[in-house]
Every structure is written in structure tokens, then in C-alpha cells.
Structure 1
Amino acid sequence: MTQDHQVGLDNCANEPIHIPGLIQPHGALLVFDQGLTLAGWSDNAAALLGVPVRDGLPLAEAIPSAEARALVEACRAGAEDCLPTMVEVLAQGRAVDCVVHGAGGLVVAEFELRHQSAEEVSAYALKAHAAIERVKRHRTVDAMLQFAADQVRALTGFDRVMAYRFRHDDSGDVVAESVVPALKPFLGQRYPASDIPAQARRLYTINTLRLIADTHYAPVGVQMRAGLGPLDMSHSILRSVSPIHIEYLHNMGVGASMSISLVVNGRLWGLIACHHTGARQPAYSIRLACDILGQVLAANVQGTLTREAAEHTAQVADLRARLVETLHVEDDLLYALCRHVRELAAVLDGPALLLSLNGKLQVHGEVPEELARAVLASLPPGGDAVIQRHHRDEWPEDVRTRIGPWVGLLALNYDPSQLGWIVALRPEQVETVRWGGRPEKQLAHGPLGPRLTPRGSFDEWVETVRDSAEPWRAEQVLAAEQLLGEVRRAVMSRHAETERARMQLLAMLGHDLRDPLQTISMAASVLQQGAGGEALGQRIERSSGRMQRLISQVMDMSRLEGGAGLQVHLRAVPLKRLLEDLLDEARVAHPGTSYVLDAPGEIDIQADPDRIAQVCSNLLSNARHYGTPGQPVRVQLRRANGYAELAVANFSDPIPAASERQLFAPFKRIGETHTRNRLGLGIGLYISSEIARAHGGRIGYHYADGQVVFTVTLPVTPGAP
């Protein structure tokens, strides 16, 4: 294999830029061991500092300044954790900034020539202090970044100061800029992640300030005592930078560069990059003030992001609490989720939301139902609880061409046994990206041989990016997982209750069918003996009718529990006439009960007459069984706001609060404690409420004037269900 074929991005990523063995020539470097003797030096140290450098030279001879020696001695005690500290000294009559820091058990003293007077530095320090105080007043991140760019350029005099904000893929957008009028602005352009290799990002994180005073400099070598190895210059202010980066800056026409890292939550969040067309070396004190400004800016950004995250966390917690409450109250799990669909969409940050359970589907957003079902079919039934997709290529091949723009997916599997999914969808983020030059690097023979050379052109290059959606942020995924945990716990609790209810239903059904079957059996025996035929025939008819009603309820319940829903066949129904027929039948069947109808006029609705009759019969039966003997059952029919309201009332004590909470839940046996109604399965009101819901209406309960009142509300508008 030729050397050309071995060159790749790893060549840039693996370059040991923290141990170059070279420094920039605008300063000198001395290295001291724990015995405070000289263990390393730059080749220009003797000429710049005027001291005879040699291995083992004592500290007192190497550094004449007592203040600088005190910094070295203080740093020796904690050389591993000693951060850069500065003092001003004189070297051969010239002002020099001495910066001392620790590196691997050694103490590094760097001497940087200063070109500004002490008065100038003091004036800039006052400006920097005022800027640091003012940055806190800005409330938005973009405003803070623009303010910082303006202030750093005012303090340092660079031709261009840009504020980058890095994306999830480490590419960076220029979101703020301060530039001299003669230069073309870069605001709004994006730069690829490959412009800053991984090891450079690490250095930007641990050393937040870096200066290249003159990109055309000739590096100066550093000599180290034998056996010590190369010096770690991660915190060095004079460290020579990668030749690849220097070539990159030359391609941009940059003569001097300075960067200030914006580290948020331990990660390189952004960067303030300064460029100058010629050489430029702001004093270390001025640069340090800019670095402090950057750190204050990063702290304010972190505070803003933390506040936004806290607000989002509180929003999610509130939704979880209300959703769990709804899940415990509502009988229909999917309906309970639908009641919070807008809040779910907001928390999951998806313009479209799909809710499914056992074949039933609810769609929120601009997604056709056919596409929604295709999306759900692409999810593995036994897969992970949380599934994410951000690019079209991550979808199964048979679905990619059908999903249209909806390439982003966050799916929560809240009920694996019944294919229960909460799915947030995001459209592709179609962007016209203004790259600062074509982002790809090219293979070329540079000063170091064949390698990937940095981009040579920085003219704006426009690209349209498709087929990718913005990924969900880590805190959003965490919130989704917490929400999923709450829903799953509620679902498991419901499953346990349903299983217990199924066992109760079997026991109830066996008990409730035993009486009519025994009656029929006894009547048949008597009939065989030819006695009391008419009375026994009526008894057989009543018992078989009761069995039929019980079996019908069980079949309805089975359809509802299985997710099939109730069959409803709509047609015009005169509601008053329907009530009159039902009340006539009730008076004949139960002559001891008085029924009073209050219906001023006819009301026509679109409904299934058999199902509406089932609801009315159930309410009349309950009123008869639970009402005070001798008191009438009152039925009232009214029209209100486009709805028909049917109220059935009976005189009785109010329903206990504990029972009221589960009135419309299946399998309750309120009648077990009532001497006149021990024969119900406890599912009549549940089925009635489902019938009303299938018609676009509802059933409610209240207690007034000594009467238990159940009200059925049904839409009058044709086609409302």
C-alpha cells in the first residue's frame, strides 16, 4: 500500500499538538524540576532573558526577579494543579509578562515580551471590568454573544471577532460577529466539525485562551533534560501550533489569531475567534481579561440553559402528574392519552404525534392515517422501549420512500403486550447551509508529506441538506424516558386490575346465570307434568330475557376490551318518541313504578336507535332498582347549545364518594350491597358511557334536590359522531 492511501482524517485527529517541542518566538520558556533547578529551556531563552541557560542551573541564577521566583516556588508545592499565574518583570530593560504554571510535576515559567505600556494595559483592564459587568444584563444567548464579540474587538483591536455556537455534530455556526468594514462578513456561515480535530477540542476545553501572534513565525525549539521526555504544553501560552492549522489560517488570509473557549457543562459549547490580517499581540493582561469575559459569558449561557432545562423539567413533571391522574380515572387508556395530546406534543417537541393501542390509532398533526399506520408497522414489536431515528437511512427500506418529510422519530413503547406506542415525528430539516468554503478536505502533498490538507477556499459555498431531522436533545430524551416510566407503571397497574376483573366477571357470570337457568329447568319439569302453563311460560320468558341481556353485555364488554369498539349504525331518530315507547314498555312490565316524562318538543338526532334504547333502558332500570319505593322516576328531555340532554332522576340517597369515582368503570358491583339489585354484572353504566361516546356524547352524574340524576348529552348536528 502506498503512503498516499494511508492518509485520512486520523492523521489530523492523532497529531500530538500538546507536545510539539516548539514555542512561538515572541517569548521564552524555562522549565524547573522539584529541586528548583533548570530542567528545560527554549533555544531563545539566553538571548531574550540574558541568562546563561544550562541543565541544573539554580532558580536564583535563572530568574533574577524575586517576584517571579516566588511564583515558581509557590507553584512547585502544587505543580500538578498549579494554574497559570502572572507577574510583570524586566528582562534586559524590557517589560516582560512572566506566566508560571505546573505541568506533570514540573514548573513552567514563560516570559512574553509586552508591547503596550502599563498605562495602556490598566486602561484596557478597566474597560474589560465594565464589559464583564454589562454582559450579565443581557437576557438572551444571542445578545450575550454579540455583546462579547463587540467588546473583545474593542479590547484587543483584532480586525474580526466571531462568536461560534457548535451544533450536535460539532459543526459551528457564526452567530455573532464584529468586523472592520473592509472585510467581508462571515455572519451566518457554518464551518464543519473537521476544522477542529478532536485533540484540538480537548485543548480548547482545558486551556480556554490561545494566541498566535504572527502566523508567519518561525518556531523555536525546546530542550529538555535527558529522560524527562517531551514537555506537556497544554497550558502553555507560547505553545507552537500545528503546521496544518497554520496553513489553514494562511488560506483564510489570517496574520494573527486568538481564541476564547466557551465551555458549558464541561463541553466545548462555543468559541470566540479573533482574526487579524497582520501580526497582533495583545498584552497577556488584556487577553486574560477577555478570557474572564468569556468565562462569565459561558457561565451566563449555562445559567440560561439550566433555567430553560428546569422549566422543561417542571413542565414534564406537571404533565406526568396530570397524565397519571387521568390514567387512573379514565376507563379508556387511549382516550386518557388523547386528553393530553397537545401537552405530549409540546414535551416531546414533535409537530406530529401518533397514539396507538391494540390496533386503535389517534393522529395529531399533518400525517395521513395510512402513513401513520406504516410508521407504526415499522416499529419492532419486541424492540427497545425508546426508539430514535434521525435520518431517512435509519428507516426500514420498505418505508423510506413512504414517510415523505417525516424522517425524525422518537417512539415510546408504553404497552408492549397491546402494541401501545407514543410516537413523536419530526420533519426533515431542509436547510440551505452557507458553508465557509467547501467543507471537504483534499488529499495533497503539504510541508509534512502526503496528508489531508486544510481547505484552501473560504468563499461561501451553499449546500441544500435534506433527509435529516434535528435530533432530540439528551434532556428531551431523558424527559421522554421518565414520562414513559410513569405511563408504563400506570398501564401495568391497569393490567393487574383488568386481570382481577376478568376473574370476577367469570365468577359473577357463573353466579348470575345460575338463577335463570335453574328457573327454566324447574319450569320445564313442571310443564312436563302439564300444570300452570301460562304463568310458567312467562317465567321462562323473563329468565331467558335476563340471560340474553347478560350475554349481550358480556359480548359488548368483550368487544370494548378487545379494542374492536361498539358497532353503531346511524340514522335519524326521534328521541321523544323513542322515550315514550320505552316508558310504555316499562309501565307494563313494572306497574308498581311511576314514570313521569317531561319533553316539550321532539328532538331528532343521528344515532343508532337500538344503542340509544340500550342506554335509556339501563338508566331506567337503575332508577327503578335504586330509587326510593313509591317515588316516581322522572325523565326530562331538553335541547341546549346544539345538544340533546336526557336526564333520568330518582329519589334516593346520594351515591357514596368512593363509588362515584368508579361509576363508569367496568366490573364494579355496587348492587351487591343493595337488597333490590343483586343481579347486575356492574358493566351497564360502562357500556352506556361507551355508547354515548361512540355517538360523540357523554354521560354524567350529579345529585340535586334529593335525587340521583344521570344526564346523557348527545349532539343534534347530523354527522357529529
Structure 2
Amino acid sequence: MNDATDAGLDLSSCAREPIHTPGAIQPYGVLLVVDPLTMQVQERAITQAQVLEYFGDPLDQHLDGVLGGALAPYRRHLDLLAPGSSVFLGSVQLGRFGRHHVLAHRSDTHFLVELEEPVEGEPGSLEDLYPQIRRFMGEIETVSDIATLCEIGARHVRALANFDRTMIYQFDKDWNGAVVAEDRNDRLPSYMDLRFPESDIPAQARELYRRNRVRLIADSDYQAVPLLRSAAHADAAPTDLSLAVLRSVSPVHLQYMRNMGTGASMSVSLVSEGRLWGLVPCHNQQPRRVPYHVRTACEFIGQILSLQIALKERAMVVEERISRRAIQVRLLGRMAGDEDFMAALGRDEKSLLDLTGAAGAAIIHRGQCVLLGQTPGQTQVNALVDWLTREHAGEDVFQTDSLPASWAEAGAFADVASGLMAISISQLHDSFVLWFRPEVMRTVRWGGEPRKAVVDGTLSPRLSFEAWKETVRQQSTPWQDVDRDAALELRTAIVDIVLRKAEEMAELNEQLLRSNKELEAFSYSVSHDLRAPFRHIVGYSELLGSSAADKLTDTEKRFLATIVESAKSAGTLVDDLLSFSQMGRSSMGLVNVDVGALVEDVRQNLVMETEGRTIQWNIAPLPRVEADSSMLRLVWQNLLGNAIKFTRDSAEPTIEVGAERGDNEHIFFVKDNGCGFDMRYVDKLFGVFQRLHHADEFEGTGIGLANVHRIVSRHGGRTWAEGELGKGATLYFTIPYSQRGTA
């Protein structure tokens, strides 16, 4: 860092520090910088001076001849390295200095060859750590939410690396970070739920984390070993060490660690769809080196955790977008059939508010103002429109979660309108649809006051990481991309469909096509991102089992078999998820269906699943309905299949199927005397990945009832359930009566 006076202090100087070209390494091995054309060593950093005395200086020497020729057998592997990639070459005996792990990296200009000193007592191979990895994979199989995923990830990484504290650290849209999960002992304090400012990990540091997924600092007081170069390359640009494991780190970061009371740290990057989602920071009070194979196992867990987080986030976004599309279709239907679109929107207040998750809305068009829900007064709304017209003319959408920060006058009604989403709906008039969100006053707990300190005129990391509370006022909950997209799509509908009355159906079809494309992209991404890794796990595990069969103990073979079984199970889960996503975009063909005949046919097809048990079936006469027959068949397959499965342990299994007539719908039910469920968790029953029983007890992926819910919803029906542990369950669904009035 550069010296600076208080008056001229540049808070961005940390972000400009050349951390990717430190010109030094941490003192735990050897780094050689090799010219890819001549294979001559141009730079070297060697921790032990005795290595130089024993082997001679490698500068300007061919790689095959340095260090007693130890690297010659690996020369062919370097030619296969693509720029930006790395490879573990194995271990070599470095004379009397013992075995060293060898890693190679290919930057845009050089090969980087690292020889890392081993750690006493380290595992001999990654296979030694498979039981722990397998336990992690087993625990996340049935997890439905990201918070629990993070808790499991923090616990297992700490168990592998044996640090005093391991956290999951998530970035927000402004790159501030928050600790969302933690596992620790009493040596270091808890940072759970604390926030840290963007300046703690500036942009170039985040890019390094994205490119190099594991970074270890074994001792915050280490003495860096300089990277020396030959005279012939003295004037060359500093070498980029971004990919190097031994790369030295910024003195400011080391001071930051010491201020935190940590003697060692390791970070595993969580990268979701190419973007740095967060980190798994590990801290130890005392210096600690983590062996290569343990770091690799932690990186593997980080990759699986990243994939699972991406999958769950993507599924939530897609489901939310589909939900918003359904709301929009309702609004479009009202507007398309009414010349007065303001009146049409006003008659469905709930849908208009739900479209963006707002508490209030205002429609302003040709001097008229319609207020819905919790809003400022009409005079205040008109003043807001004047400000939008003046300051944000030409913008299709304007959004903020802190309106008073942009327009001081809004402070007078911040309690109902701290958040604003506004769309312009006319190029000729000052016409807008506005959505409001109220103030959510909250206390943010920062990990220390989020400002760096000046020590002796020099910028320094802050000295305290005690919880520092900041009260945030005049802010609403933030708007999400799905809110903005829904508002923009409504704007398009108003301008292009209602106001101009042109191509009504074309625009509606475009919305449906977009929804289908999103689902197709989702399906492809799932198959691409998840299927391949699980195939690799199965393939490589089976290869390991076959190639090393005579060397493996029965216990090790059982470990491998469990890995293969778990990966295949995960592949089945992916297939079920694809089926679920495709169900939402399949076209429906309504026909008159004999439900009684359909149920009997499904029951006969499920005979094999009874496993020879005698089941008492009580099937009442069932009515005919207007429905998509193939979709309705899938509903009955799931419901009857569940009843068969969950009566497996019943002494006298009984399954009852019946129907009742409601005011506007047929009510069907499937009742069994099986294991039942706790009604406290009934709200989870029809959700994706939701399971109320452990996979060891009853097989399944947790998607079947989600499919039932989706199919019934598409028919305009409802689903619900009743049950009691040990006494069975009853699952209900409805199908509305025919539009033609026949029941």
C-alpha cells in the first residue's frame, strides 16, 4: 500500500494492488516459470537454499535437466495443457529433500511448475477421503433448501480440513458478503449472520477466486520467497501467478488476517454458472498447512455444493417466472376484453400487486389516477409522476428500493413507498403504472465498522471485527430481476396490445414461447451441468474398482459401490426433475375421461410394485371428467404408487379410492392405512424435492407429488392432504366440472 495523508487517502488503492503478480511465493516449495517454446526456466522461487546447493540453479536450464531430472517424465503432459488450465502430475522424489507434489499450470505466456512440500501425516491419495465425500453426498440427497445445503457444506469442509472455523459466505448484488452458515469450535468467535463490505474482497480478488478455486495461506506471518529471473528476462513484464497454489498474497491481506486473530486460512470458491456466488472461508487460530489431497476433496465438495445451489436457485427462478406469467395472462385477458384498461387492471387488484410482489400500485393515464393497496396520497403520486417525467424521461422502467435517496420529497411517505417500480406506458402522455413497497426498517450487523483505518498515515485493514450494528431506514425489500421482467412485460402488453390493439394473440404467443424457451434452457442446463458429473463419478469409480480390484479391501470396494449407487440415484433425481419441468410446457388435450376405467388400468399396471403383498382395494364408482387423459393417468400413477409404497409395513394394507361432488368440481381422494405423516409438515408435501420420510425408509426423489400438483393446477383444480403418523394418509385433488356444464 502507498503512504497517504488523511486528506488524500485513496480508498480504492487496495483494489488496484497487483495481487496476481506478487513476484514471490509462500515458503513451502519450488516454483519454476518455464518458456513454453524453449522449455527453459526463466524464473524460479525456491524455499530451501539447500536445494540450490544440491541441484544447482535451474535458471536458463532446460526443464528436463533441472532438479536432477525429476521433472523429465512429466514433460509430455505440459504440451496437453490449454491456457488457463492446471493438472496434478503426481509426486516426485527430490533427492534427499523427500517427495514433493508436482502441479503444472498454463498461463497465457508461460508454464508454471510447482513442487509443493508434503505435510506430515497427509493422506496418500484422494481415495482415502472418499468415505467423507460419500457422507456429504448422502446428506445432501434430500435437502430442499439452500440454507441447509450451506450448513452441511460448512460442516463437512471443516471435518476434512480440520480448521477452527469454517463458514459459507454469500455475495449480494453489490458484492457485499454475508455469513450464511458456520461450523466452528471455541477458539475463534462466531461470524454467523455478519455482513462484510465489498471493499474487503475487491473486484480483482474476486476474479482470482473465480479462476483459482482453492487458496491456502498456511501462516499469516510467513516470509515470502522472491521469484528471481534470469538476466536475459530482467525487463520482462511481471509474471501472472493467478493459477499458482504457492502464490504469495497481499501484505494488506496478511494484516487483515492478523487483525482477525487467524494464523491460517483457506478459501474454496463457490461458482454458479460462471459467476462467483460465494466462498467457503476456513480460519485457524494457529498456522496450519492443508495437504494437497485434502484441498482437492474440499474443492470437490465446493463444486458439488455450487451445482446444487445453482440447481435450486434456477428451479426457484423458473417456478417464480411461471407463476408471474400466469398472473400476467390473467391481466392480459382482462385488458384485451375491455376498452378501458385502467378499469380492467383496477378490477383485479390482487393480480396487479402480485405481479411484482408490491403492497400498493397506482395507474396514471390522461390525467386520471387509480390507487390500489397501500400507496401515497393522490397529490403525492402526481408529484412523483412529475419527477419521473422530468428526471427519468425515456426510461421504460425505473426501480429503486430507496426512493428518498433519489428524491428527497419521498421521505414524507417512506413508510408506504420506500421502494418504487415504475413503467412508462405511453410515448405521448405522462402515463405510468407504479408499484410501491413499504419501508422495512432493519438492523444490519457488520463484521466490524465497514471502513478501513489509517495507521501512521497508511491505509490499513480495520482493526476490529466485533459486530457493528447499523440501522437501515427508508429502504424496502429489494426488487428482483423477476419483478423487473414482469413489469416490463406488462408494459409491452399495455403499449402493444391494449393501447394500440394490434397483434393481441401474437404478443401472448410470444410470452408463451419465452416461457417454453426458459424451461428448455433450464432442462438443458440441468442435463448438461448435473448429468455429466454424475456419469463421471460412476465411470471413474467403476474404472477404479476394475483396475485396482485386487488391491482394494472389501471395505474399500463397499465404499466404491456406495459412491456408484449414490451417483446413479442422483441421476434418477435429475431425470425426474426434467420430467417435472417438461410437464409445465406440455400442451393439454381435453377429452371426456372415464376415471373409473383409468384407475383400474393404473392399478393393474402397478401390480408388480405390491411385491406379492395382499392389498385390500376399496374403489368406489368414479365419475367421468373433462381432462387430459395422459396427464390424469400420471396423477393416478403417483397417488396409487405412493399408497402402495407407504403401506409396505402395514399388517393388513388397505387402499381406498373415492370421489365426491363439490359445488363446482369433482373431489377425488386416495386413502391408505400406511405410515402416514406429521400434519405440521403438510405444506411441504406437494413441493419439489420435498420428502417427509428418509430415503433409507422409502425410495423416491420427492418430485412425484409436485407433478401431481402441477397437473391438477393446470386443470384448474386443487390438491391437499390429511394424515397422522402411523395411521395412514388421505390425498385429495379436484377437477372442475366441464365448461359445457356437464358433470
CA contact (8 A) 1:213 1:280 kept: yes
| Partner amino acid, structure 1, of 2:93 | L
Residue-pair matches, total:
494
CA contact (8 A) 1:28 1:48 kept: no
Give % identity.
30
1:37: which partner in 2?
40
Deviation string 1:463-518 (CA, Å, 9 cap, x unpaired) is: 11112334323343233222211221113324999xxxxxxxxxxxxxxxxxxxxx
1:702: which partner in 2?
none
Among 11, 21, 24, the residue aligned to 1:22: 24
1:480: which partner in 2?
487
Give the 3 Å change call, closer, same or farther, for CA 190–117 of structure 1 in structure 2: closer
- Could you tell me how far apart the structure 2 residues matched to 1:106 and 1:478 are? 45
- Could you tell me how far apart the structure 1 residues matched to 2:147 and 2:410 are? 39
- Could you tell me how far apart the structure 1 residues matched to 2:493 and 2:417 are? 27
- SS of 1:257's equivalent in the other structure is strand
CA contact (8 A) 2:414 2:439 kept: no
Among 94, 102, 105, the residue aligned to 2:106: 102
1:231: which partner in 2?
239
Deviation, structure 1 residue 171: 1.3
Rg comparison, structure with higher value: 1
Among 113, 116, 128, the residue aligned to 2:117: 113
CA contact (8 A) 1:258 1:273 kept: yes
Give the 3 Å change call, closer, same or farther, for CA 488–48 of structure 1 in structure 2: farther
- SS of 1:9's equivalent in the other structure is coil
Deviation, structure 1 residue 112: 1.2
- SS of 1:469's equivalent in the other structure is coil
Deviation, structure 1 residue 287: 0.6
1:346: which partner in 2?
354
Among 59, 64, 85, the residue aligned to 1:55: 59
- Could you tell me how far apart the structure 1 residues matched to 2:16 and 2:458 are? 12
| Partner amino acid, structure 1, of 2:402 | H
1:357: which partner in 2?
365
Deviation, structure 1 residue 138: 1.9
Among 287, 301, 304, the residue aligned to 1:296: 304
Deviation, structure 1 residue 13: 0.8
- The two structures have a TM-score, normalised by structure 1, of 0.64
- Could you tell me how far apart the structure 2 residues matched to 1:125 and 1:231 are? 36
- Could you tell me how far apart the structure 2 residues matched to 1:362 and 1:204 are? 50
Deviation string 1:366-392 (CA, Å, 9 cap, x unpaired) is: 225344444444331754221223324
CA contact (8 A) 2:262 2:286 kept: yes
Deviation, structure 1 residue 166: 1.3
- SS of 1:170's equivalent in the other structure is coil
Deviation string 1:213-260 (CA, Å, 9 cap, x unpaired) is: 111100000112314432111111001110000001000100000001
Deviation string 1:258-300 (CA, Å, 9 cap, x unpaired) is: 0011122332221110000001111111111111211111111
Deviation string 1:410-460 (CA, Å, 9 cap, x unpaired) is: 101123445432211122332211111111112223xxxx43210101111
CA contact (8 A) 1:72 1:100 kept: no
- Could you tell me how far apart the structure 1 residues matched to 2:488 and 2:130 are? 48
Deviation, structure 1 residue 405: 4.8
Among 310, 315, 327, the residue aligned to 2:318: 310
User: Does residue 379 in structure 1 map to residue 382 in structure 2?
Assistant: no
User: Does residue 187 in structure 1 map to residue 192 in structure 2?
Assistant: yes
- Could you tell me how far apart the structure 2 residues matched to 1:491 and 1:219 are? 68
Deviation, structure 1 residue 155: 0.3
2:152: which partner in 1?
147
- SS of 1:263's equivalent in the other structure is strand
CA contact (8 A) 2:122 2:291 kept: no
CA contact (8 A) 1:244 1:453 kept: yes
CA contact (8 A) 2:375 2:436 kept: no
| Partner amino acid, structure 1, of 2:388 | L
CA contact (8 A) 1:405 1:467 kept: no
- Could you tell me how far apart the structure 1 residues matched to 2:130 and 2:240 are? 30
Deviation string 1:96-144 (CA, Å, 9 cap, x unpaired) is: 2111111223111111112134448643343124424543432211011
Deviation string 1:157-198 (CA, Å, 9 cap, x unpaired) is: 000001111122211111100010343211111111111122
2:452: which partner in 1?
441
| Partner amino acid, structure 1, of 2:155 | D
CA contact (8 A) 1:38 1:57 kept: yes
Structure 2: tracts of 5 or more residues without a match: 505-743
Deviates more, 1:264-273 or 1:473-482: 473-482
2:476: which partner in 1?
469
2:210: which partner in 1?
205
After TM superposition, the structure 1 = structure 2 runs for residues 612-691 of structure 1, keeping only pairs within 5 Å, are: none
2:92: which partner in 1?
89
CA contact (8 A) 1:208 1:291 kept: yes
- Could you tell me how far apart the structure 1 residues matched to 2:12 and 2:29 are? 32
Structure 1: tracts of 5 or more residues without a match: 498-721
Deviation, structure 1 residue 3: 4.2
Give the 3 Å change call, closer, same or farther, for CA 104–379 of structure 1 in structure 2: closer
- The two structures have a TM-score, normalised by structure 2, of 0.62
1:551: which partner in 2?
none
Among 426, 431, 436, the residue aligned to 1:420: 431
Give the 3 Å change call, closer, same or farther, for CA 331–405 of structure 1 in structure 2: closer
Give the 3 Å change call, closer, same or farther, for CA 51–483 of structure 1 in structure 2: farther
- Could you tell me how far apart the structure 1 residues matched to 2:198 and 2:3 are? 28
After TM superposition, the structure 1 = structure 2 runs for residues 262-277 of structure 1, keeping only pairs within 5 Å, are: 262-277=270-285
Deviation, structure 1 residue 95: 3.1
- Could you tell me how far apart the structure 1 residues matched to 2:72 and 2:82 are? 14
After TM superposition, the structure 1 = structure 2 runs for residues 597-616 of structure 1, keeping only pairs within 5 Å, are: none
- Could you tell me how far apart the structure 2 residues matched to 1:352 and 1:70 are? 71
